[in-house]
Amino acid sequence: MRFWMVAGVLVVIPTVLAAQSGAIAGRVTDAGTGNPIPEARVQVEDEGLTVFTDGEGRFRLRGVRPGSHSVSATALGYRTTRRENIVVTSGQAVGLTFSLTPQGIKLPEIMVESEIDQLLDPRVTETVQRITAAELRELPVTTLDEALILQAGAVGGSYRGGRLGQESFVIDGLGVKNNLDASSGALGLNVPTSVLQEATLVTNGFSAQYGQALSGVISLVTRDGGDELHGFVAYESDRLLSDGWDFGLDRINLMIGGPVGVGRATFLAALDAQARVDDDPVNAPAPEDPLDPRSERPWLLPHNTGERYDLTAKLTVPIGIHHKVRMLGIASSGNRLLFDPQLKYSPRQGPAQETNGRFALIHLQTTPAMGSGNTTMLDLRLGFFEKSALRGVLVNQPDRKFGAFTLGDFEFAGEQLAEAGDSIGALQAIGGFSVPVLATTPWGVPAFFMTESTRGELARNLFRELRVRLDLLLGRGLDTDLRLGGEFVRQHVETFTRLESYRSVSSGAPEPRLSDFDPFSAAGYTEVEHRIEDLAFTAGLRVDAFNPRSGAETGELDTKLAVSPRFAFSTELEKATVVVSFGRFAQPPDFQFLVDAAFDDTLRTGRFRRGNPSLGFENSWQYEFNIRFRPTPGLGVKIGLYFKRLDGLVSSVPIGFDADSAIFANADFGTVKGVEVTIEREFRRGVGGRLIYVLQEAKATASDAFDFFRRLRISPIGDTIRPASLEIPLDFDQRHSFIGLIRGRVSSAAGPVLAGLEAAAIAKWSSGLPFTRTNLEGDSIIGIPNGERLPSRFSIDILVRRALNIGGIRIGFYVDIRNVTDRRNIVAVRRDTGTPGAGELQIAQMAASAFSANPAPIPFESQRYNPLFDLDGDGLISGANELLPLYERAARDFLQPTFAFGPPRLVRLGTEIVF
């Protein structure tokens, strides 16, 4: 009963995502006298939005979708004036002045005057960073993720020091989040960049419209089909290049859109398909030992193929004048063969992974006629999202049809058991898994390398949700906006994990772990924005609720509630805009932490983790001060100071006195503080650029179960002294970061050789991320957790494109080069040595241990015999003098730091046809 009461209250509580739309504001005047024209009609023609001016000729069009629009103004006795290609961006207002000419008078040259500077507009109180469709096309980026890391405070999917999973996605106004394993698994959806009109990254927390996130909200706006048939086809590859530059890449990108032919309906469809023989290229140095097979071809890793398919379709159907229905579908599928160094000499037996994501959205928008300043807009959204992942051993290796494309699904051993959650059938050894044995290597000695994975892992998870959202925008006058709304989300979770599947549970394998439960969540808010001359205020209140319902043994669990107030104030001071904001963010924990043996978690804080269905919200209070100004026309500067206080973070805490046993709990807290400086030159006269610097410190408490028990002390009288909480750097505490980008376009007046030439470059430098040092055995921490740092990283990416227009068709050729300098960036190190490679002591210890386990000689008759290592020539490789050097070479081979390095120089050659 309590659930229905909470859900009912939240659904009627006044939400709309303002950042999903923009506004157009300005005045309409008489061209001859300059007097205002009341009751003039201003219309965004392609959107069907209409407003009438007030007594002073002022107007404000709210809820305009981002993109390029045609805007017209007309009044009785005056000629209609139309403005083409008015570009609207999310959360900002474009200023226009219309000067109407009386009928019968020749229309003078049309001029567009900007009354509202989008940088200085005090209504823009969010910390919003935008990625436009032009930037996605013209910069050396392939995916949205690559574009997002070019924003201030972004570190490979982490934002402002938060961990993975503390961000949320919004697609066309509807939130999408993988609540099952967001902190260790991707969303599962990849939206082709060709269908994006705009993407925004919001990194402060005052606005009540955002939820289920602590560190950032990524908002995507997809394009409508358009009134004319248009599209493009593109292909890029590196297979035309020589060895060392060829990683077997093929990418096909298709997009088409236009009118359907029924009424004013439009469609848009896109496919982005990519495959690579080595899907995770690394810039690791070649092995020095000539017997190592990678010493000849170090650039391609075996059993590391990946392919991905991303399909998007959209249909937009106007219903009458004031109603519109948008239907959006996204399907993503990715297959990976995963290189395992332990299976280096049996690569066809390595593990594989398949990930699928599905998203569907129906959006009904109602935009009734507007008064001079009054607006009422209603949005109803119904969405479905599903992500599934399966990891294990393949029954058969896939055949490649073209390049690395297999054009088929993987078939996993035990797949039916995992999908059915058959814990009884999984008690026995699972067919398709083989018992691991030591593999034959160039060194001849049986050690380290295996023919099968020793984990014998079969793991599956499924997350599914149905989300309903109702939004209402009430604009009163030109200076007040009220947003109301709510949403309800019904979810379903399934997980299955079986280890050592090559043997039965009765013979010692761990029991299968599975879960099946149906959480729900709800949210609602009310928010008001008001402007008084140069002052703007925003105040809101958001309420979130969730109930895990994660196991029949716990019964109906209590619904958790989080109340989040938000406030922002902004004003114009001479030629600058100052914004002060604070607010509370709350997000439910990953559902993987609610069940035992959490699926694919990355905390690694206990070998036996117990789920906790009573986990509550993770919270953060965020405070921000920023200033925006223009030192010169076309040059914008933004400086922001922020502080976040985190509490209730999920961590692993010990159970009793067993250091190997832990339970998840809301136990950690921390702080994030920093300053962001952005200097941007708007794209003018064919040149634009941006420079970003971030200084940041991100810390949190450490309640690692192992570390906790290592720091326990016994007093002289026998009492246990529990250690105090220690605040340590978060995993994504990147102290310094510089990003510089520049793009240019040669004008058509430059002549036939250079006209149409485009170029862009991105330079990135960042200080190293923290890591924890341990002793050689790995059971003791040296110093404090995350007390050491990786080396800094640096890269330069360049894109050069040349386009030709032939008969109305645009043909382009481009070269896309990543990491131009081929810098060997270190992305990980061994915790015992603090370097990518192992130390000589560890190599010697591993070799000695392997020799002790198998000191058997290698006779002349054996296939493993190599005369190079028979030092005394007696036809027998035996004893420590002859065998131990082989074990040392095998250990050195096994411990190669393959994935400790970032990607090498990557080159893509592409061609595209645009029509």
Contact 609, 598 (CB under 8 A): yes
Contact 629, 597 (CB under 8 A): no
Q: Which amino acid is at 318?
A: P
Q: Comparing C-alpha atoms, which of 392, 388, 398 is closest to residue 432? A: 392
64-68, 394-398, 715-719: least confident range:
715-719
Which residues neighbour 903 within 8 Å (Cβ) at sequence distance 6 or greater? 280, 281, 282, 283, 818, 819
- Unique residue bearing structure tokens 């893509």: 908
Highest mean pLDDT among 75-79, 294-298, 767-771: 767-771
- pLDDT-derived band at 425 (thresholds 50, 70, 90) equals very high
Residues 26-47 as b/e (b if ≥16 CB within 10 A, e otherwise) read bbbbbbeeeebbeebbbbbebb
Q: Sign of dihedral through CA atoms 419, 424, 427, 433?
A: negative
Which residues neighbour 555 within 8 Å (Cβ) at sequence distance 6 or greater? none
Instruction: Return the structure tokens found at 382.
Output: 């119904």
Chain centroid to CA 90: 19
CA distance 500 to 395: 16
- State residue 705 phi and psi, 5-degree precision: -60, -40
Average pLDDT of the chain to the nearest whole number: 85
Q: What is the pLDDT of residues 566-613, one digit of tens each?
A: 999 888 887 888 999 999 999 998 888 888 754 433 333 334 567 888
Whole-number pLDDT of residue 17? 38
- State residue 896 phi and psi, 5-degree precision: -60, 135
Whole-number pLDDT of residue 660? 53
Q: Please report which helix (H) or strand (E) contains residue 219, including its range.
A: strand 216-222
Q: Please report which helix (H) or strand (E) contains residue 667, including its range.
A: strand 658-684
Q: What is the pLDDT of residues 197-233, one digit of tens each?
A: 888 888 876 678 888 888 888 889 999 988 889 999 9
- pLDDT-derived band at 16 (thresholds 50, 70, 90) equals very low
Instruction: Return the structure tokens found at 554.
Output: 């716990």
Over pLDDT 70: what percentage of the chain?
A: 89
- Unique residue bearing structure tokens 């935008």: 130
- pLDDT-derived band at 105 (thresholds 50, 70, 90) equals low
Phi-psi region of 569 (alpha: psi -120 to 50; beta: other; left: phi over 0): beta
Highest mean pLDDT among 333-337, 514-518, 779-783: 333-337
Contact 221, 65 (CB under 8 A): yes
377-386, 775-784, 900-909: least confident range:
775-784
CA distance 521 to 759: 47
Q: What is the pLDDT of residues 839-889, one digit of tens each?
A: 898 899 999 999 999 999 999 888 888 888 888 888 899 989 999 999 999
Q: Please report which helix (H) or strand (E) contains residue 130, including its range.
A: strand 128-132
Contact 254, 231 (CB under 8 A): yes
Q: Comparing C-alpha atoms, which of 388, 453, 836, 432 is closest to residue 600? A: 388
Q: What is the pLDDT of residues 341-371, one digit of tens each?
A: 899 888 888 899 999 999 999 999 887 666 6
Contact 786, 733 (CB under 8 A): yes
- Unique residue bearing structure tokens 């019964």: 555
Q: Which amino acid is at 534?
A: D
Whole-number pLDDT of residue 822? 94
Q: With a cut of 70, say whether residue 10 has pLDDT above it.
A: no
CA distance 113 to 600: 55
CA distance 621 to 626: 17
Q: Comparing C-alpha atoms, which of 654, 635, 496 is closest to residue 575? A: 635
Whole-number pLDDT of residue 683? 87
Greatest alpha-carbon span in the chain: 112
CA distance 179 to 177: 6
Looking at the DSSP bridge assignments, the partners of residue 727 are: 701
**Average pLDDT score over residue span 379-403:** 92
Whole-number pLDDT of residue 104? 62
Which residues neighbour 692 within 8 Å (Cβ) at sequence distance 6 or greater? 150, 151, 152, 676, 677, 678, 679, 737, 738, 739, 740
Q: Pick the more confident residue, 31 or 563.
A: 563
CA distance 52 to 40: 5
Q: Please report which helix (H) or strand (E) contains residue 146, including its range.
A: helix 144-148
Q: With a cut of 70, say whether residue 703 has pLDDT above it.
A: no
Which residues neighbour 581 within 8 Å (Cβ) at sequence distance 6 or greater? 125, 204, 206, 538, 566, 567, 568, 569, 622, 623, 624
**Average pLDDT score over residue span 286-292:** 85
Whole-number pLDDT of residue 676? 95
> DSSP of 159-218, one letter per residue?
ETTPPTTSEEEEETTEEE--TTTTTTS--S----GGGEEEEEEE-----TT--S-SSEEE
For 875, which DSSP code?
S
What's the full length of the chain, in residues? 915
576-585, 683-692, 803-812: least confident range:
803-812
- pLDDT-derived band at 115 (thresholds 50, 70, 90) equals low
Instruction: Return the structure tokens found at 154.
Output: 């972004």
* Burial class, 642, CB count within 10 angstroms (exposed 0-12 / middle 13-18 / buried 19+): buried
- Unique residue bearing structure tokens 């922020």: 642
Q: With a cut of 60, say whether residue 8 has pLDDT above it.
A: no
Whole-number pLDDT of residue 255? 96
Which residues neighbour 290 within 8 Å (Cβ) at sequence distance 6 or greater? none
Rg from Cα positions in the chain: 30
Contact 800, 815 (CB under 8 A): yes
Give the angle subtended at the CA of 65 by the CAs of 62 and 71, to the nearest 5°.
70
307-311, 572-576, 761-765, 823-827: least confident range:
572-576
CA distance 47 to 302: 52
- Unique residue bearing structure tokens 């120089």: 905
Instruction: Return the structure tokens found at 760.
Output: 């862009």
- pLDDT-derived band at 901 (thresholds 50, 70, 90) equals very high
Q: Comparing C-alpha atoms, which of 287, 290, 95 is closest to residue 897? A: 287
Q: With a cut of 90, say whether residue 44 has pLDDT above it.
A: no
Whole-number pLDDT of residue 605? 38
Q: How many CB atoms lie within 10 A of CB 6?
A: 19
**Average pLDDT score over residue span 42-70:** 82
Integer angstrom CA distances of residue 265 from 64, 259, 329: 18, 6, 16
Q: Pick the more confident residue, 357 or 297.
A: 357
- Unique residue bearing structure tokens 């403005």: 83
β-bridge pairing 608-610 and 249-259: unpaired
Whole-number pLDDT of residue 684? 85
Residues 716-754 as b/e (b if ≥16 CB within 10 A, e otherwise) read eeeeeeeeeeeebbbbbbbbebebbbbbbbbeeeeeeee
Integer angstrom CA distances of residue 581 from 122, 203, 214, 479, 526: 12, 12, 15, 19, 17
Contact 350, 339 (CB under 8 A): yes
Whole-number pLDDT of residue 386? 97
Instruction: Return the structure tokens found at 218.
Output: 């990524």
Whole-number pLDDT of residue 755? 80
Whole-number pLDDT of residue 187? 86
